[in-house]
Amino acid sequence: MDFDRFFQSQLQRLHDDGSYRVFADLERKQGLYPLATRHAANGSNDVTVWCSNDYLGMGQHPKVLAAMKAAIECCGAGSGGTRNISGTSHYHVALERELAELHGKDSALLFTSGYVANWATLGTLGARIPGLIIFSDASNHASMIEGIRYAGCAKAIWRHNDLRDLEAKLAAANPTSPKLIAFESVYSMDGDIAPIKEICDLADKYGAMTYLDEVHAVGVYGPRGGGIAEREGLMERLTVIEGTLAKAFGVMGGYIAASRQLCDFVRSFASGFIFTTSLPPSLAAGAIASIQHLKTNSSERVRHQESVRRIRVQLNRYGLPHLENPSHIVPFIVGDAAKCKWISDILLEDFHVYLQPINYPTVPKGTERLRITPNPTHSEADITHLVNALRSLWSNCALARGVA
Ligand SMILES: *Cc1c(COP(=O)(O)O)cnc(C)c1O
């Protein structure tokens, strides 16, 4: 078989339907976010980033940078091993304590990413709890889906945020089977928020565990950045809270927070936790600084929500179609892969605005979009520039304005 020819023919299909991914080659400018230098074949120029998940700009916070530098000076670059074999630094231990405290749980367990946290935890629970049925929201992130698939256990997919469908599926299952409901708080593409309390009520009624992915909410919501469950006073009702250190906390890594026994179980049985080198101590140190800062300071959160509000007001003023939702994610729906990419290309080339097109399979076909993520570091001028650029492109686009 001519393997490269096979690969090329598969890739051509992505090119043909406009979903082939091209990465922007960026150098983010510490101290000057949301500015970044973009490198391209025809030279380099500065762009304003409008699609970062570093929601609060903590990736350039002086406390975070100082903590990371100090940890490198203290302990060097890498961790030197898996958690079990020399790779547990004092920073890892302190960070797990910090995370457990953030979510009001006994324990927390670190992973190299949020993806791995979801995959390894759901995979391990599903594979090792005899007869477990996982009830998974239809819009769950790929990392949860892959974990459930890997677990090989029984599963039921319930319609997104649909309590009646969830209850129907819980009621139809064997009452004696152990159950787990897996869902997210803020859904990353539509920015809608799950009815956490009602889901916990159903979990109680049917004796199910609850597993909540708060990746897009930690740092951003709750009086101490504990997420939507903290804001709504529901943390203690969740069996597992999963999060990332890579989005609002501005660093990298993933985690779960849960009971001592559950964390110890995953620590002891999850391949994706055991057989991989632990995070560099500097990342753990940066995460601690970021979490501690956001636990006691709301100014980033307040300015963030202010940016979100300001951009929505301007988009509404000009009838630019964005999904209304109760979160900080502002999806600008284009509904066509090629047009989405066209708008994104021109924004980058002519307006020096970087807004990555989001196409299938990240979102369903026909809902292709530009996912705007406002940041406290965006100025009023940045917002006006983006909205003016979108206005001129949107009127040039063959799509009806105001129809999402
Ligand atoms: C980004 C994301 C993850 C994965 O987190 P990483 O730390 O980036 O690996 C998990 N769940 C959801 C909903 C996400 O959007």
Ligand 1 atom nearest to 245, measured from its CA:
7
- Would you list the domain boundaries of the chain? 21-50+299-402, 62-296
How far lies 253's CA from each of 91, 248, 269, in Å? 13, 12, 19
Asked if 386 and 346 count as a contact pair (C-beta separation under 8 A), the reply is no
Cβ neighbours of residue 46 under 8 Å, at least 6 residues apart? 29, 35, 36, 37, 38, 352
CA of 142 to the centre of ligand 1 (A): 9
Give residue 398's pLDDT band: very low, low, confident or very high (50, 70, 90).
low
Find the angle CA(103)-CA(255)-CA(33) to the nearest 5 degrees.
90
244 C-alpha vs ligand 1 centroid, how far in Å?
7
pLDDT at 19 exceeding the cut of 90: no
Please tell me the distance from the alpha carbon of residue 190 to that of residue 187, in angstroms, as a whole number. 6
pLDDT at 402 over 60: no
Query: How close is the Cα of 197 to the center of ligand 1, in Å?
Result: 22
Q: What's residue 362's pLDDT? A: 87
DSSP secondary structure string, 352-380? -EE--EE-TTTS-TT--EEEE---TT--H
Instruction: Average the pLDDT over 391-397 and give the result.
Output: 87
Local structure of residue 184 (DSSP, 8 states): E
365-369 average pLDDT score: 92
| pLDDT above 50 (res 403) | no
CA–centroid distance, 114 to ligand 1, in Å, is 5
Label residue 404 by pLDDT band (50, 70, 90). Answer: very low
Give the pLDDT confidence of 125-152 residue by residue, as tens digits. 999 999 999 999 999 999 999 999 999 9
Distance 392 CA to ligand 1 centre (A): 33
Ligand 1 pocket mutation, candidates 55, 119, 143, criterion most atoms within 8 A of CB: 143
What pTM, to 2 d.p., does this model score? Answer: 0.96
What is the C-alpha separation between 109 and 260, in angstroms, rounded? 10
The atom number, within ligand 1, closest to the CA of 53 reads 1
Give 397's pLDDT tier (boundaries 50, 70, 90). confident
pLDDT of residue 314: 96
| 247 belongs to the catalytic site | yes
Cα of 70 from ligand 1 centre, angstroms: 27
62-296 — its CATH code?
3.40.640.10
CB 182 within 8 A of CB 173: no
Residue 399 has pLDDT above 80, yes or no: no
Contact criterion met (CB below 8 Å) for 259 and 107:
yes
pLDDT mean over 96-102: 98
Mutate to test the pocket of ligand 1, among 247, 283, 328, 362 (most ligand atoms within 8 A of CB): 247
Would the pLDDT of 400 be above 70?
A: no
pLDDT in tens, 314-366: 999 999 999 999 999 999 999 988 889 899 999 999 999 999 999 888 899 89
User: What does pLDDT average to over the chain?
Assistant: 96
Whole-number percent of the chain with pLDDT over 90: 91
Q: Which fold has domain 21-50+299-402?
A: Aspartate Aminotransferase, domain 1 (3.90.1150)
Q: Is the dihedral of CA 334, 336, 339, 340 positive or negative?
A: positive
Percent above pLDDT 70 for the chain: 98
The residues with which 212 forms a beta bridge, in sequence order, are 183, 241
Measured from CB, residues less than 6 Å from any atom of ligand 1 are 113-115, 118, 141, 143, 184, 188, 213, 215-216, 244, 246, 254
pLDDT surpassing 60 at residue 212 = yes
Report the pLDDT averaged over residues 387-392.
95
For a ligand 1 pocket test, name from 121, 189, 244 the mutation site with the most ligand atoms within 8 angstroms of its C-beta: 244
Closest residue by CA, ligand 1 atom 5: 114
The pLDDT value given to residue 361: 84
Q: Which residue has the higher pLDDT, 403 or 84?
A: 84
Phi, psi angle pair for 26, to nearest 5°: -115, 150
Catalytic residue among 155, 179, 247, 341: 247
Query: Can you tell me the mean pLDDT for 115-125?
Result: 98
